Chain A
Amino acid sequence: MRYLDEYRDSGIAHALAARIRARVTRPWTLMEICGGQTHTILRYGLPELLPQQIELVHGPGCPVCVAPLEIVDRAIEIAARPGVIFVSYGDMLRVPGSRSDLLRVKAAGGDIRIAYSPLEAVRIASENPARLVVFFGIGFETTAPANAMAVWQAKQHDLRNFSMLVSHVLVPPAMRLILGSPTNRVQGFIAPGHVCTVMGFEEYEVLAAEFQVPIVVGGFEPVDLLEAIAMLVDQLEDGRAELENQYSRSVSRGGNQPAQQLMHEVFEITDRQWRGIGAIPASGYRLREEYAAFDAERVFATEEIQVEEPPECIAALVMQGLKKPVDCPAFGTRCLPERPLGASMVSSEGACAAYYAYRRHAAPEVAR
């Protein structure tokens, strides 16, 4: 299959691994931002191919993991109301809220539907005028254009029964938080290829220059990631700190302009809570005032929510590159995919889920 087989080719992968081994002279800690990249790394066992000196830590780019507990609880509260059709990406259904999750609300009679696109929710709203249809609009810059399109279409068609529960977050402010922390260990970043497909990479050029840190925009296949790691190692060994684009078959400097225009039309920048990490200024989107009628938080006046996070969960430290999932005493014992303490164990992009699914057999030093 084109664009797939060549990026999963064992010969190319081993050649890249050899290039990294030949180049590396001392330890480097690298972070891939996106949870999709984390899953590829663990699924293909890439750490087994890399020299000991390269440590990969896993970033905050798992939309399900960083969606704040408060918004999950709010979603659960709205989805349980009679007359509501709650539409969500499948991943969010198993995410534990303070006291329940969406799957249990569904089992108790809530009309919760899984969609692959927010436009499906718009269609459901137009077909069910007597019901209030709510889409759970979470994610990074990657899902923002489709969510913006859904709200924009709902406004065009004057669909008064459609609204969106928005908890959009942005990658660059989270990288800024990690880089600005006194405990930061990350010396080079693999930037998220899909986010950059939408947004371009000018924001990352700024970060690379400001923090003097190499950043390579990377794809999602194993060969993409090994090439991005090789490019980072070259920069680090050369003493350079630049933005480079490995994922050039998808990412351009300016990104997808029509998508950005639509996002700008519908959303505006706001402060956002990140699950476990806390509030990050100017780190997300909310609906603009002109689209307030489609904002589920305004449509449904929900009561003040008291959140309860399991204190044992270390997902926030994992997402900042400070810990590995296997460092958690609950990993694989009190926290399992079917009984998660935190979202990172259930999301298909969560680092804890990736370690559990692919690497829990390995001795800790191999899992690293």
Chain B
Amino acid sequence: MISLSCPAPITGTGSVLLGHGSGGKLSAELLRGIFLRAFDNPLLARLEDQAVVEVAGARLAFTTDSFVVKPLFFRGGDIGSLAVHGTVNDLAMGGAQPLALSAAFILEEGFPLADLRRITDSMARAAAAAGTTIVTGDTKVVERRSGDGVYVTTTGIGLVAAGVSLSAAQARPGDAVVLSGAIGDHGIAILSAREGLELDGDIASDSAPLNGLVEAILAVTREVRAMRDPTRGGLASTLNEIAAQSHVGITLSEDAIRVHAGVRGACEILGLDPLHVANEGKLVALVPADCADEIVQAMQRHPLGREAAIIGAVTERDPGLVTMRTTFGTTRIVDMLAGDQLPRIC
């Protein structure tokens, strides 16, 4: 029975909602309903963090990302370093080392040049640390009140290592789920920096370039199935995407997922689940079970993977669903966020 007085579905209305940018279900609907429909092609349809294009025998990874974070400066980073790390990481999740980046800036009239200098210096440092450079760019200025100071878009190309083929559609029953460290640091650092929240801000963003850690993983085996950096929407959204794209179930062990005490405390106060909070320097890898331990050990030897651990496994049961064995030995679903009520985080 479908009632005529049902409220019209929110997703059917004619305008963009903030939730469309959350990385959760509404974002996925926007992607499918608008962009995939318009741009439909096999490379895009793979829905990876990067497209891999073959050029004269080489496989080039290609990706772009826009950054609208508020505040622009926060503990552990700023919009500039975030913009570099974000694109480097999207390349790295395809098994690619970055070759070159572009940077485009939308500046608001009146934005202090000193802040812009601080952001660009930070970008240069971040690019150097990731072993790459910013080789082209663009600038536009919009009228006062048409922007939030500065928006940054970075684009990157990278070279995919030979023999490596990563895809969120490749997870297989029996695979292990490996996480590189504690979750939620970035999202909570941004929330703490937000005016009016008055959280004690000793939590720093984890924003970092992951290409070195990826190199360490791929040095163990090229048989890795998929890698993702759980940014917007958190680990829960990333794993739900992988489960859906691979048509498999994923079961997690709550005990194995690390959350730093400060992040836990903030999540308790704010009513957030750390599994939904953004990260900018963590990766989750789906790997064959027989090399999982060796991969974790290799990750732990890298500065960005010291807290790496196996957090779960891929199952045949419940395809498309992520479940978690709680500390009590009971089972619950780990869902994507339906919308988003957090301030802009990336």
Task: Give chain A's interface residues, CB within 8 Å of chain B.
Answer: 1, 4, 8, 10, 13-14, 42-46, 48-49, 90, 93-94, 96-101, 103-104, 106-108, 114-116, 120, 123, 222, 308-312, 329, 334, 336-341, 346, 348, 356-362
Which residue of the partner chain, among B10, B197, B268, contacts A116 with CB atoms under 8 Å? Answer: B197
Q: Check if A348 sits within 8 Å of B271, measured CB to CB.
A: yes
Q: Check if A339 sits within 8 Å of B11, measured CB to CB.
A: yes
What per-residue 1/0 map shows which CB atoms of B3-38 lie under 8 Å from chain A?
A: 101110111010111110000011001000000000
- B136 contacts partner chain A, Cβ-Cβ < 8 Å: no
Q: What are 7 residue pairs bridging A and B, where the CB atoms are less than 8 Å apart in the complex?
A: A94-B10, A97-B7, A103-B18, A120-B196, A310-B6, A310-B7, A338-B25
- CB-CB < 8 A to A341: which residues of B? 6-7
Q: Which residue of B lies closest to A353 (CB)?
A: B338
Q: Which residue of A lies closest to B17 (CB)?
A: A107
CB within 8 Å for A357 and B333 given contacts A45-B328, A49-B328, A311-B5? yes
- B341 contacts partner chain A, Cβ-Cβ < 8 Å: yes
Which residue of the partner chain, among B6, B10, B197, B330, contacts A103 with CB atoms under 8 Å? Answer: B10
- B182 contacts partner chain A, Cβ-Cβ < 8 Å: no
Besides the contacts A94-B338, A99-B7, A311-B3, what 15 more A-B pairs have beta carbons closer than 8 Å?
Answer: A8-B327, A44-B330, A48-B331, A94-B339, A104-B13, A114-B341, A123-B196, A308-B5, A310-B6, A334-B6, A336-B338, A337-B339, A338-B338, A360-B333, A361-B323
- CB-CB < 8 A to A222: which residues of B? 328
Q: Which residue of A lies closest to B6 (CB)?
A: A310
Main secondary structure of the interface of B (DSSP, over half): loop
A339 to B261, CA, bound (A): 35
- CB-CB < 8 A to A120: which residues of B? 196
- B219 contacts partner chain A, Cβ-Cβ < 8 Å: no
CB within 8 Å for A359 and B333 given contacts A310-B6, A341-B6, A348-B271? yes
Q: Which residue of A lies closest to B327 (CB)?
A: A10
Q: What are the nearest 8 A-B pairs in CB distance?
A: A45-B330, A337-B338, A90-B341, A358-B332, A48-B330, A339-B9, A96-B7, A338-B338
Task: Give chain B's interface residues, CB within 8 Å of chain A.
Answer: 1-3, 5-7, 9-11, 13, 15-19, 25-26, 29, 196-197, 261, 264-265, 268, 270-271, 318, 321, 323, 326-333, 335, 338-339, 341
- CB-CB < 8 A to B323: which residues of A? 361
A362 to B318, CA, bound (A): 10
Q: Which residue of B lies closest to A47 (CB)?
A: B330
Which residue of the partner chain, among B11, B29, B268, B318, contacts A361 with CB atoms under 8 Å? Answer: B318
Which residue of the partner chain, among A1, A42, A309, A361, contacts B321 with CB atoms under 8 Å? Answer: A361
A255 to B15, CA, bound (A): 47
- CB-CB < 8 A to B265: which residues of A? 1
Q: Check if A310 sits within 8 Å of B5, measured CB to CB.
A: yes
CB within 8 Å for A359 and B19 given contacts A94-B339, A116-B270? no
CB distance from A70 to the nearest CB of B (A): 15
Q: Which residue of B lies closest to A97 (CB)?
A: B7
A100 to B330, CA, bound (A): 38
A356 to B3, CA, bound (A): 21
- CB-CB < 8 A to A42: which residues of B? 332
Q: Check if B338 sits within 8 Å of A106, measured CB to CB.
A: no
Q: Which residue of A lies closest to B325 (CB)?
A: A45
Which residue of the partner chain, among B7, B18, B339, contacts A338 with CB atoms under 8 Å? Answer: B339
Q: Check if B15 sits within 8 Å of A43, measured CB to CB.
A: no
CB distance from A214 to the nearest CB of B (A): 25
- CB-CB < 8 A to A4: which residues of B? 264, 268
- CB-CB < 8 A to B330: which residues of A? 44-46, 48-49
A14 to B326, CA, bound (A): 13
A123 to B195, CA, bound (A): 12
- CB-CB < 8 A to A336: which residues of B? 338
Most A CB contacts (10 A, CB to CB) among B318, B321, B335 go to B335
CB within 8 Å for A329 and B196 given contacts A1-B265, A49-B328, A106-B18? no
Q: Check if B3 sits within 8 Å of A310, measured CB to CB.
A: yes
A358 to B325, CA, bound (A): 12
Most B CB contacts (10 A, CB to CB) among A4, A104, A222, A340 go to A104
Most A CB contacts (10 A, CB to CB) among B5, B11, B268 go to B5
Q: Check if B7 sits within 8 Å of A329, measured CB to CB.
A: no
Which residue of the partner chain, among A43, A106, A334, A338, contacts B332 with CB atoms under 8 Å? Answer: A43
- CB-CB < 8 A to B16: which residues of A? 107
Q: Check if B326 sits within 8 Å of A312, measured CB to CB.
A: no
CB distance from B149 to the nearest CB of A (A): 19
- CB-CB < 8 A to B321: which residues of A? 361
CB distance from A203 to the nearest CB of B (A): 27
Q: Check if B328 sits within 8 Å of A44, measured CB to CB.
A: yes
CB within 8 Å for A107 and B339 given contacts A44-B326, A116-B197, A341-B7? no
CB distance from B153 to the nearest CB of A (A): 23
Q: Check if A361 sits within 8 Å of B328, measured CB to CB.
A: no
- CB-CB < 8 A to B3: which residues of A? 310-312
Q: Check if A45 sits within 8 Å of B331, measured CB to CB.
A: yes
- CB-CB < 8 A to A114: which residues of B? 341
Q: Check if A10 sits within 8 Å of B329, measured CB to CB.
A: yes
A339 to B197, CA, bound (A): 30
A1 to B268, CA, bound (A): 11
A116 to B191, CA, bound (A): 12
A312 to B7, CA, bound (A): 12
- CB-CB < 8 A to A10: which residues of B? 327-329
Q: Check if A361 sits within 8 Å of B333, measured CB to CB.
A: yes
A318 to B199, CA, bound (A): 36
CB distance from B200 to the nearest CB of A (A): 14
Which residue of the partner chain, among A8, A103, A312, contacts B17 with CB atoms under 8 Å? Answer: A103
Q: Which residue of A lies closest to B29 (CB)?
A: A338
Q: Check if B328 sits within 8 Å of A104, measured CB to CB.
A: no
A53 to B150, CA, bound (A): 60
A179 to B216, CA, bound (A): 63
Q: Check if B341 sits within 8 Å of A338, measured CB to CB.
A: no
